Each structure stands twice: as C-alpha cells, then as structure tokens.
Amino acid sequence: MVVGELAESVDLLVLGGGPGGYVAAIRAAQLGRKVTLVDQAGPAGLGGVCLQVGCIPSKALIELANAAHRMSEMEEMGLSADGVTVSLERFQAWRARLCLDLARGVEQLLEDGDVSIVHGRARFNKPDRVAVRTPEDRALFFEFGQAIIATGSRSVELPGLPFDGERVLDSTGALALDEVPASVAIVGAGYIGLELGTALAKLGARVTVVEALDAILPAVDPSLAAPVLRRLKTLGVHVRLRATAERLEGGELVVRDAHGDQRVPAERVIVAVGRMPNTDDLGLAAAGIPVGPDGLIPVGEDMSATRRIAAIGDVVRGPALAHKASAEGVVAAEALSGRPSAFEPAAIPAVIFTDPEIATVGLSEGEAREAGMDVRVASFPLSASGRAGTLGEHDGFTRVVADASTDRVVGVHIVGPHASELAAGGTLAIELMASPYDLTGTIHPHPTLSEGLHEAAELLLGHPIHVRTPSLNRIPKGPLHGHV
C-alpha cells in the first residue's frame, strides 16, 4: 500500500469484512487470487454487523434470557430456582470475549489464505481505483483489477426519534445495554424488534411494541406469527398495532393511533424499523455503478454490477441475511475468477429467534396458490410431539406445502422450539426437489423435533400415524413409492 496519490495495484479488492466479504475473499484466495480486503472496523471488528453487533450478540442475549426465564417456568417439572439473578454487565464482558474470539478466528482464516487486510473506510474515485481513509486518518490508494462490494447495511433512523446512544437506541445500542431497563418501547414489530423485545421482557423489563401496520411480523404468514403473539401476551408484552411513534416527552414515548396521542412508559426506546444499504458514501458514481432509489445495486446472476465489479449481501436485492451474503460471496469470487457460477438457489431459509422460534423456507400456501400450483398442505401440531412435551412446549407446528402436479415439496414452515436448527431439513428437501414420499420414506430419529417434518408429510399424504382423524385413513392398494 502507498500513502498519498500513488496507488498500489491489487488483483482483487474486497470492500467489507462481514459474512459476505470475508467468505468471498477466502474463496477467491482458494482459487489462486491475490486478495486485499478493506474493512472499516479495527482488527477486533472483523465479521461485520453479524458477528459484532447483530446475529451473534443478539442470539447470545436471547440464550441468556431464555435460560433465566425457563428456570422460573420449571417448578412443575420439579426444579426450584429461587434466587436466580442476571447481570447484564457480566454478560457484556462474556459477549465481548466471544465476539473477539470469533473475530480472531476470521482474521486467522484470512491470513491462512494470504489475504491482505487493510482497516479503513473505502470510497471509489475512479472505475478502477479506491481511496481508503484509515483510523489514523491516513489516505491509502489502491488500483484494482476487480472488486467485490460487501459493505452491508445500517439501521434506519426515524426523524422524530434520532439515535442518541442513551435514550433512543438502534439494535447495536440495545445489545450493548449493561442493565435491564425498567421499561422499554420497541418501535417496529419485525424480527429484530420482537427478538429484542422478547428477550428484554424475559429479563424483567416492561415492554411495549409499537407497530404502524396491523400485524406483528408483517412479512410472515399470519398463521406463523399467531403463536408468537400469544407468547408475547403471556410474557406481559403490550403490543400496539396501527400506531406510530412520534416523539419522546420526559420518560414516555408519545404514540399516535386512531384514538389520538397516547403515552407509553419508556426508559429506553429501541427503534427497529428496518435497515438501509451502506452504498450512499461509496462514490459509486465514480465507479460507473448504478444505484436504485432504495440504495441497492443491480446485479446479474453472477453478482456482477459492472464488468469488473461485483456486489453482494445487504447492498443487493433479496433478504438481508448473513447466509445469503456468504453464498453470494462464493458466487462472486468464482465468477470474477473465470469459473461458471450463478446465484440461483431453489430457496433461502429465514429464521426468527422469537418465542417460539419461526423457520420458513420456500413458498407459503398462499404464494404457492398465487403461482398456480396444485397445492397440498398439512401441518403437524407440536402438541402431538413427545419430544416437545419433554420440553414443556406445545404451541407450534411443522407445515409442509407441496405441488401435487410435480410431486415436489415447495415450502416448509416450522414454529416451535429449535425451529432454527430444523430449517436445514426443509431447505434440503426443496433444493433436492424431494417429494412428500421422500420425507415419509426417510427415517427420522425419535424422540426429536425433527420428526415433525416426517409427520407433516404423512398427514399431507392422508395417512398420519400420530394425529387423530375422524376415521382411520385407508391406504390405497398398490406400491407406496418412496416408502421403506
């Protein structure tokens, strides 16, 4: 690297060290490319939002909250846990060590691939040139043969509730709390808001969720969200739908609904109304890269934005998910290295770590019908699962959606404990074009929650074993293809 106007020539430049960028860098290095990765965080900050202030810290907080709350619910099972206390201050120290260890692991993986790491904020000033401002306020310049943009996204700020790091927090600030607030208002009932709200309620906060639309988790099928809403009410969370957050007044949040202005106790306000791509300060015009009105970069199936530049992750279309970014990073690295590669998954799983958890992959029943499919759908209730009973969990289900005309599974949707760990089974079924018979013909271990997928397929085919029906369903004579 060279300080000043002289620029260092690099083969492949990756902007961003999150789950998209670092995976792209490693795959490119595996293909023999000489890679330089630029990340605006310091050495301890590799891994991006996901590792540092998103996926990992939030799931750690949720795990703490679930454990603490579960102790209080196990009296009937014979466990008395008087005197259980939670220290968010100690949790934050543990969480910091965890994230540091993981970041060091990412750094080691990059170093093993001989990837050069530069810390600083990058901006294009020519189609093949980037200027990097380092934390020490030095200017570095790089001329690249090819580049991958993986700069991620940030929280959307509301005009009346600007983030101040004290009273009004984004998800990053919420995950850094070192004590449980007495009262919290969550603005936004999407997955980020409800994950944080559920965790804080379990830790003892008085939580109010404010949502402008008429349902929680508006992007999710209502039947999947219903068990979550029931659980929120059990936890004492007050959900205000068709309401907007206006401003703070003293220790309260002013909320406007059909009845006028209402006041909600709010020692802290967490705004979780979405995320926006980090593309506005990259100098993309200088690189000849078009940007849509939403800030997203249009790309092809090989993730190319221009002949020499690709873009991946939260800066391109599709769900803002770490695993999607990683998969796109592999495609971008391969395509720029001359390998035939395209991002065309049959389905992308999405997981919501509420209580109960939600995992969804593929088409919902409604989406399948809108696509003109001959839809068959069945849901196996969690209340019929022996393993769920041992966990004290009964509210939820596993649903299979199939297209009878092609004999393929097109959607799998799970609501219940550990749904996040079960999502991969549904994803494999769709990616491998499995039929419901493939699911019923696969032996699932007992007693486990994974049996729900098998049982839902049996129900879909009309001959369930562990769900009561008005009369015993007779299986037609003839071969049962796909069965053991």
Please report the DSSP string for 448-469 in residue order.
STTHHHHHHHHHHTT--SSS--
| Nearest partner of 272 among 183, 157, 193, 168, judged by Cα | 193
Burial class (CB in 10 A: 0-12, 13-18, 19+), 378: buried
**Contact by Cβ (8 Å): 44, 352:** no
CA distance 82 to 84: 6
CA distance 173 to 170: 5
Catalytic residue check, 119: no
| Nearest partner of 224 among 357, 107, 91, 333, judged by Cα | 357
| Nearest partner of 440 among 400, 382, 397, 396, judged by Cα | 400
Of 394, 418, 444, 446, catalytic: 446
* Residue 412 one-letter amino acid: V
CA distance 141 to 136: 15
CA distance 351 to 366: 19
Token digits of residue 105: 């692991």
Q: In sequence order, what are the residues at sequence separation of 6 or more whose Cβ sits closer than 8 angstroms to the Cβ of residue 381?
A: 396, 397, 467
Neighbours of 134 (CB within 10 A): 16
What's the length of the chain? 484
**Contact by Cβ (8 Å): 46, 39:** yes
DSSP code, position 158: B
| Nearest partner of 378 among 463, 484, 253, judged by Cα | 463
| Nearest partner of 358 among 454, 220, 214, judged by Cα | 220
DSSP code, position 387: H
Q: Is 352 helix (H, G, I), strand (E, B) or coil?
A: strand
**Contact by Cβ (8 Å): 270, 187:** yes
What residues act catalytically? 446
